[in-house]
């Protein structure tokens, strides 16, 4: 079913909306959640929460890209769950590795006012990523938005793992410089 | 405190179109094990069909086409834009090609053209436009093309240019039925269609209601990795005749993905 038709089902408050979403994007969201949480049970919980949240947000919202909309909700639930369980310190799922990698960019020590500055940080990240060459952008998004393991990114995109690693290293270095320039880090 | 966790959460700010692009790239490429299995299956199927019929190569048709969702956004390199890109929705047709490591650059020259276009026949080129004939050409020629802005445009491309999610895009127009053929005598796969766009009457500018039609023929040779697009406002039959008689030769230059800034090209890039 086309995305627009699925969104219409949400707007019509039809139960079919959830089953169609699950059928089309269940695996996609589940993988994102699993890559962050590291357990099947947690991933399933996040995905169920995602459907409920999507149900509550539509109508009102009409997402332009349903996959990204749902993926973003799933990320948030999974990250909340991860934080609540403090699992990232113990090393669960791909998120733990991603967090270790991203610590390059944030040596720490600077307070960030929640909400306003977090939104500014999100916007800055969006602008930074949009300005990357396509190949680097794809690798960065897959690694830090979708939390895909390095080996899988390399295999799918046809790069060696060392090439993917060095590409990400260079991009993180540029991100750090960009965030410093923007006064966010 | 700005920590790695906040930064990971801030990845939510990544633009939707970038997520879609990455997803497409990732999902379009199957893991090697699955790919290897698919190749073996295809090879077996091909061997079987080739044994049964001379038309077996149709299995390996080297172009895929689809009509994207109108909201699907393409980020197209565009030097005149401040960001260097434009984001375009409403794509009427997207044609993609197999991943190609090396493409052989080509030149072509028409072996046949409608007689009003005889002045275009001559040198080997990689791009040939009939636009000038509408505006500054032979006065005996122009009336036949009075209402056209681009009767014909022939252009060559490299399949390697379109690796990693690139495509040939038809903007704004609606594509009609797409026909796929293989011309054995020319050793090319061929895809052709008509496309149209409708405009309502605009009394303010004294413009009547009208429908514009463009026709396109694509030739591709997967072994050498080249593509040729013959398109314009001439009728499809004429363009097919031009395509069938096009003389093509390789220049010896090899083109790879890295050689291109643009990984999208447009069917209806217009004149010029």
Q: What is the pLDDT of residues A22-54, one digit of tens each?
A: 989 999 999 998 888 878 888 898 999 999 889
- Copy the structure tokens of residue A130: 């949009």
Residue B1 has pLDDT above 60, yes or no: no
- C-alpha torsion sign, points A77, A80, A83, A85: negative
- CA A19 to chain B, closest CA, distance in angstroms equals 21
Residue B43 has pLDDT above 90, yes or no: no
Kindly determine whether residue B13 and residue A184, on different chains, have CB atoms separated by under 8 Å.
no
pLDDT confidence of residue B221: 93
B-chain residue closest to A183, CA distance: B2
pLDDT confidence of residue B59: 45
- CA B261 to chain A, closest CA, distance in angstroms equals 10
Q: What is the pLDDT of residues A130-143, one digit of tens each?
A: 998 888 899 999 99
Report which of residues B7 and B31 the model is more confident about: B7
**Residue-averaged pLDDT of chain B:** 81
pLDDT confidence of residue B174: 93
pLDDT confidence of residue B271: 42
Kindly determine whether residue B1 and residue A108, on different chains, have CB atoms separated by under 8 Å.
yes
A-chain residue closest to B21, CA distance: A138
Residue A113 has pLDDT above 90, yes or no: no
Kindly determine whether residue B5 and residue A123, on different chains, have CB atoms separated by under 8 Å.
no
pLDDT, average across residues A81-101: 66
pLDDT confidence of residue B248: 95
Residue B139 has pLDDT above 70, yes or no: no
Kindly determine whether residue B9 and residue A118, on different chains, have CB atoms separated by under 8 Å.
yes
Question: pTM value?
Answer: 0.48
Report how far residue A119's alpha carbon sits from residue B163's, in angstroms, rounded to the nearest whole number: 35
pLDDT, average across residues B102-120: 89
Report how far residue B197's alpha carbon sits from residue B233's, in angstroms, rounded to the nearest whole number: 12
Residue A128 has pLDDT above 90, yes or no: yes
Give the one of B5, B14, B30 whose C-beta lies nearest to A88's C-beta. Answer: B5
Q: Which residues on A lie below 8 Å from B164 (Cβ)? A: 134-135, 138, 157
A-chain residue closest to B74, CA distance: A134
pLDDT confidence of residue B181: 87
Residues of B in CB contact (< 8 Å) with A are 1-23, 25-26, 29-32, 69, 71, 75, 83, 99, 164-165, 263
pLDDT confidence of residue B236: 92
* pLDDT class of B82 with cuts at 50, 70, 90: confident
- Check residue B200 and give left, alpha or beta (phi > 0: left; psi -120 to 50: alpha): beta
A-chain residue closest to B263, CA distance: A134
Residue B80 has pLDDT above 80, yes or no: no
My answer on whether omega of the bond before A59 falls inside 30° of 0, hence cis, is: yes
Report how far residue B48's alpha carbon sits from residue A17's, in angstroms, rounded to the nearest whole number: 44
Q: Which of A45-49, A110-114, B109-113 has the lowest mean pLDDT?
A: A110-114
pLDDT, average across residues A157-185: 83
pLDDT confidence of residue A74: 92
The residues pairing with B265 across neighbouring beta strands, listed in sequence order, are: B168
pLDDT confidence of residue B66: 92
B-chain residue closest to A86, CA distance: B5
Kindly determine whether residue B2 and residue A112, on different chains, have CB atoms separated by under 8 Å.
yes
pLDDT, average across residues B44-64: 55
Report how far residue A143's alpha carbon sits from residue B22's, in angstroms, rounded to the nearest whole number: 10
Q: Which of A161-165, B106-110, B123-127, B160-164 has the lowest mean pLDDT?
A: A161-165
pLDDT confidence of residue B230: 95
Q: How many CB atoms lie under 10 A from the CB of residue A106?
A: 21
Give the one of B20, B83, B165 whose C-beta lies nearest to A67's C-beta. Answer: B20
pLDDT, average across residues A90-109: 63
Kindly determine whether residue B3 and residue A108, on different chains, have CB atoms separated by under 8 Å.
yes
Q: What is the pLDDT of residues B186-244, one digit of tens each?
A: 889 999 999 998 888 888 777 788 888 999 999 999 889 999 999 998 999 999 999 99
Residue B51 has pLDDT above 50, yes or no: no
Kindly determine whether residue B9 and residue A137, on different chains, have CB atoms separated by under 8 Å.
no
Q: Which residues on B lie below 8 Å from A106 (Cβ)? A: 2-4, 6-7
ipTM over 0.85: no
Residue A179 has pLDDT above 50, yes or no: yes
Kindly determine whether residue A99 and residue B8, on different chains, have CB atoms separated by under 8 Å.
yes
* Residue burial B90-121, b: 16+ Cβ < 10 Å; e: rest: ebbbbbbbeebeebbbbbbbbeebbebbeebe
Residue B48 has pLDDT above 50, yes or no: no
Q: Which residues on A lie below 8 Å from B29 (Cβ)? A: 156-158
Kindly determine whether residue A111 and residue B14, on different chains, have CB atoms separated by under 8 Å.
no
Kindly determine whether residue A112 and residue B1, on different chains, have CB atoms separated by under 8 Å.
yes
Kindly determine whether residue B164 and residue A157, on different chains, have CB atoms separated by under 8 Å.
yes
* pLDDT class of B166 with cuts at 50, 70, 90: very high
């Amino acid at each position: 079913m086309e995305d627009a038709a699925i969104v219409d089902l949400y707007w019509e408050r039809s139960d079919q909306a959830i089953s169609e979403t699950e059928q089309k994007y269940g695996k996609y969201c589940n993988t994102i959640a699993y890559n962050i949480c590291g357990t099947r049970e947690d991933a399933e919980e996040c995905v169920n929460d995602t459907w409920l949240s999507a149900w509550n947000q539509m109508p009102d919202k009409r997402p332009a890209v349903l996959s990204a909309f749902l993926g973003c909700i799933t990320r948030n639930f999974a990250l909340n769950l991860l934080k609540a369980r403090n699992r990232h310190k113990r090393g669960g799922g791909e998120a733990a590795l991603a967090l270790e990698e991203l610590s390059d960019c944030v040596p720490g020590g600077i307070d960030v006012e929640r909400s306003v500055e977090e939104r500014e940080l999100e916007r800055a990240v969006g602008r930074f990523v949009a300005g990357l060459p396509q190949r680097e952008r794809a690798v960065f998004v897959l690694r830090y938005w979708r939390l895909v393991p390095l080996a899988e990114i390399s295999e799918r995109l046809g790069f060696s793992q060392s090439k993917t690693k060095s590409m990400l290293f260079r991009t993180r270095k540029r991100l750090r410089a960009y965030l410093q320039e923007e006064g966010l880090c | 405190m700005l920590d790695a966790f906040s930064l990971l959460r801030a990845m939510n700010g990544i633009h939707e179109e970038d997520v879609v692009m990455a997803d497409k790239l990732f999902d379009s490429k199957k893991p090697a094990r699955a790919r290897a299995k698919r190749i073996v299956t295809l090879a077996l199927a091909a061997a079987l069909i080739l044994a049964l019929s001379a038309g077996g190569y149709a299995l390996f048709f080297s172009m895929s086409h689809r009509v994207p969702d109108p909201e699907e956004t393409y980020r197209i390199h565009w030097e005149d834009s401040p960001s260097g890109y434009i984001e375009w929705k409403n794509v009427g047709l997207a044609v993609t090609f197999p991943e190609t490591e090396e493409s052989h650059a080509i030149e072509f020259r028409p072996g046949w053209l409608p007689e009003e276009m005889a002045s275009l026949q001559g040198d080997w080129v990689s791009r040939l436009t009939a636009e000038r004939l509408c505006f500054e050409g032979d006065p005996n020629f122009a009336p036949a093309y009075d209402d056209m802005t681009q009767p014909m445009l022939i252009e060559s491309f490299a399949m390697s240019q379109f690796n990693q999610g690139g495509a040939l895009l038809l903007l704004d127009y609606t594509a009609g039925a797409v026909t796929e053929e293989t011309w054995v005598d020319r050793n090319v796969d061929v895809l052709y269609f008509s496309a149209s766009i409708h405009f309502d009457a605009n009394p303010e500018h004294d413009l009547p209601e009208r429908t514009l039609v463009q026709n396109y023929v694509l030739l591709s040779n997967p072994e050498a990795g080249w593509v040729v697009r013959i398109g314009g406002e001439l009728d499809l039959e004429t363009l097919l005749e031009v395509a069938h008689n096009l003389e093509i030769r390789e220049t010896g230059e090899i083109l790879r993905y890295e050689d291109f800034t643009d990984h999208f090209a447009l069917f209806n890039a217009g004149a010029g």
